[in-house]
Amino acid sequence: MRAFEFLLEKTETPTDPSAVPGDPSTDPLYNLKLAVAHKIKEMPINPATEKALHEVEDLLSRIMAGGRSESVGGELQAINDPDVNAAQKLLAKYIISMESSPADRSAMMKQWATEEGLINIKALLTPGKNTVATIVNGYGKNPAIKELTDDLSGVASLGQGKGEFLLSVFSKMITKAKKGDLAIEGFGTLEVKTTDKGAARFYDQQVRPTKAFQGAVNDFIATYKETIDSAKLTSPTGMNLDQLISLRKALPPENNPEFKEKLSAVISNIFATSPDLAQPIVDAIMVDNLNQAKQRYAVACLNNYMAAKVHDKGMLVINLTKNPFSFVFFTDNQTLNAGGMRLHASTAYPVTNDPRNAYPQTDIVDTSRAQE
C-alpha cells in the first residue's frame, strides 16, 4: 500500500547526520517504523482501513509541510482570490475539521483554484430557480465540496450576509460590490436577498418611505379615527389592506373621493422611487378586490426597490430554508414569471407608525400563473 511506503520514506528523519535510512545500527527510529509497518500489513483490506490509511498519509504530508494549518493556508493562498485571503483563517478552520477524504479535499482545492472556481456563473445568472447542486460545481459529486458548501452557507463574514459570503469566496469572479451586494466579472452588480429564518423585505437604508410618509399616515388616521376605532380596524402594527377595504366600506359613499386621495398620499410616499405604483393598488382597494390589491402591492415593492438600485443588473434571492437550498435570479417581475415563479408577500401594513411594516416579507414561490 502507498501509505506503508509513505511511512517508510517520509518519516526517515534520523537525528544523527551519519545515520543511514533503513540501517538498524544507525537509524534510531528503525524499530518503531518496522513495528508500524507490520501493524499496517496486518490490517484487514476494507474501506475502513483504506480511509484510515489515507488519513495517516494526509496527516504525515501536512506535518512535512509544516503543519495542517500552514499547509491549508498555502493551498488557500494559491487560489489567488482577495476574498479568500481575507477570510483565510476562517476558511482554514472549516477545511481542517472536514471529514471528507484527502483525495476529495485535494480535488476540491484544485477546482477552487480555477478561474470560475466552485461557482457555475452561467447557471447563477440564468433566470429561474436553481438548487445548490446546479450552482456549486461538484456539489453532487465531491463530498468535500458538499461538506464545505453546507458549512459556509450559514456563515456571514467580511461584511457580507449568509449566501453572499459563500459566493464571494467560492469564485474569484465574484466579489463584494461597492454599490449593490455582489459584483460579477463581465456582468455587473447583483442585489442579493437571503431567506434564512424569515423572508426578506424590499426595504433597506436606500429604499424607504419619503419624509412626508408619516405626516400622510397621521392625517389619514386622524381623519377616520372614529370609524377606525368603532369598527376595530387597526392593530399595534397598523392597518393592513383588508382593514383598509373594510374602512372604505364602512364610510358613507360620498367619502370615497376624499378616502382615495388620502390613501393615495400614504401609499405613494411608501414607493418613493416610483410613486405612480400606488394608483393601481388604491384602485383595487376602491373596488374591494383584496387579492388584486395584494398582488399589485407585492409587485410594486419589487419594482420600487429595483428602480432605486440603478447600478444593479438584477436580483438574486437565496433561500437557505429549502432542502436543498435554492438560488433564483431575475431582473424584474416578468423574468420571474417566465421562470415559473411569482412573489408571495406576507401581510402589508401601508398605514403604520413603523415604516418597515409597509414593506412585507416576500418569498419567491412556484406558480403556473403570472402576476400583473
- Note the pLDDT tens digit of each residue in 203-217: 998 999 999 999 999
**Segment 25-31 mean pLDDT:** 63
The whole-angstrom separation of Cα 86 and Cα 179 is 20
* Residue range 100-116, pLDDT digits in tens: 888 899 999 999 999 98
Choice among 25-39, 74-88, 209-223 with the minimum mean pLDDT: 25-39
User: Which band of pLDDT confidence, cut at 50, 70 and 90, is reported for residue 22?
Assistant: low
* Residue range 165-212, pLDDT digits in tens: 999 999 999 999 877 689 999 999 999 999 887 888 999 989 999 999
pLDDT at position 52 is 59
Over 70: is that where the pLDDT of 58 sits?
A: no
**Segment 246-259 mean pLDDT:** 97
Instruction: Give ∠ CA 190-192-195 in degrees, rounded to 5.
Output: 160
Choice among 49-63, 122-136, 307-321, 345-359 with the minimum mean pLDDT: 49-63
pLDDT at position 40 is 57
The whole-angstrom separation of Cα 51 and Cα 44 is 12
- Residue 247 Cα distances to 233, 267, 299, angstroms: 7, 16, 24
**Segment 332-353 mean pLDDT:** 92
Choice among 144-148, 208-212, 329-333, 358-362 with the minimum mean pLDDT: 329-333
Helices marked H in the chain: 2-10, 30-42, 47-64, 68-78, 82-86, 88-96, 102-112, 121-124, 132-135, 143-152, 164-170, 213-223, 225-230, 241-250, 256-270, 278-286, 290-308, 333-338
The whole-angstrom separation of Cα 267 and Cα 358 is 9
pLDDT at position 131 is 95
pLDDT at position 55 is 59
Over 80: is that where the pLDDT of 360 sits?
A: yes
pLDDT at position 23 is 59
- CB hemisphere CA count around 301 (13 angstroms): 27
Higher confidence at residue 247 or residue 50?
247
Over 80: is that where the pLDDT of 12 sits?
A: no
pLDDT at position 279 is 97
Over 80: is that where the pLDDT of 19 sits?
A: no
User: Which band of pLDDT confidence, cut at 50, 70 and 90, is reported for residue 54?
Assistant: low
**Segment 325-331 mean pLDDT:** 93
Choice among 85-94, 162-171, 213-222, 240-249 with the minimum mean pLDDT: 85-94
- Average pLDDT value for the chain: 86
Percent of the chain beyond pLDDT 70? Answer: 79
**Segment 221-234 mean pLDDT:** 96
Choice among 25-29, 316-320, 326-330 with the minimum mean pLDDT: 25-29
| Residues listed for the chain | 372
pLDDT at position 63 is 45
pLDDT at position 214 is 97
Percent of the chain beyond pLDDT 90? Answer: 63
pLDDT at position 9 is 46
pLDDT at position 114 is 93
